[in-house]
Amino acid sequence: MLAIIRLLLLAIAFASVSVIACIYCLFKPFHPNNVYIFARIVSKFSWIVGLKVELRNVPDFNTLKPSVYICNHQNNYDIFTAAAAVVPNTVSVGKKSLKWIPFFGQMYWLTGNILIDRNNTNRANGTIELTARKIKEKNLSVFLFPEGTRSKGRGLLPFKTGAFRTAIKANVPIVPVCTSNMHGDVSLHNWSNGKVIVEFLDPIDVSKINDGNIREISNSVHSLMSDKIAQLDAENQK
C-alpha cells in the first residue's frame, strides 16, 4: 500500500511541477536559471521515497564560474540526488527522446537542457562543439553523467570522453560530483530508505589537456571519484 501511495504522489508531483514549469518557461524560455530552479524543486521529492539527501562542499554561488560537472549515474532515483547538486546557470545534456515523455519531457526541453541524438554519431560529435560554444557564449555550466548509462549496482562504470572533450573545447574546469551508493537500498515499501551523501570535489583544470592524453585524465578522474564514492559508502554504513 505504501508503495502505491508513493507512486501516486510522485505522479501527481511530477505532473504538477512539469505543467507549472512549462507555463513559467513560456515567459522565460531557455533561461539559464530555469534548470536550477526546477531541479531544486524536484530534488525535494526525495522525501516521498524515504530518501534524505545530504549535500557537501557545495560551491559558493557568488563565485561560480562556467564548468562541466560530472556525476556518477546509478538508477532512476538519481533524479532526486543529482537534481539536488545542480547549481545556478547550469543545464544538462540528455537524449532527444526525453522530450516525448508526457509533461516531464516538455519541461526538460523548455527549461533549456541540451538534447542530443545518441543514435547519430555525427550529431553526437557535433553536440560537443555546440555545448562548448553555449558554455562560452552564454556563460553556462553543464551537468553530465560520463558513464553514459545507469550503473545499477555495478560500481562506477568506465567514462566516455565527451564530458572531458567538452571541457577542453570550452576551456572550463571539470567538477566531479560523487553520490554514495543507493542501488538496491531503496524500497518503496520502507518508510525510510536512509541517507544519500552528495559531495562536490575540487575543480580540475583541463587547460593543459589535449586529445592525446584525454583518456589518461579521464581514467585519473574515474579513480578519484571511485575512491571518494567508496569513502562515502563506508561512512554511510556506520
Q: Alpha-carbon distance 71 to 79, whole Å?
A: 12
Helices 2-27 and 34-43, axial angle in degrees (round to 10): 160
Domains of the chain: 2-236 (3.40.1130)
Distances (CA, A) of 137 to 110, 129, 185, 203: 19, 12, 42, 21
CB atoms within 10 A of CB 166: 25
pTM summary value: 0.91
Distances (CA, A) of 215 to 92, 162, 173, 230: 22, 11, 16, 22
pLDDT tens digits in sequence order for the chain, 238 residues long? 899 999 999 999 989 999 999 999 989 888 889 999 999 999 999 999 999 999 999 999 989 999 999 999 998 899 999 999 999 999 998 777 777 888 888 888 889 888 877 665 555 567 788 889 889 988 999 999 999 888 887 889 999 988 999 999 999 999 999 999 987 788 888 888 989 999 999 999 988 776 668 888 899 999 999 999 999 999 887 6
Q: How many CA atoms lie within 13 A of 212 on its CB side?
A: 1
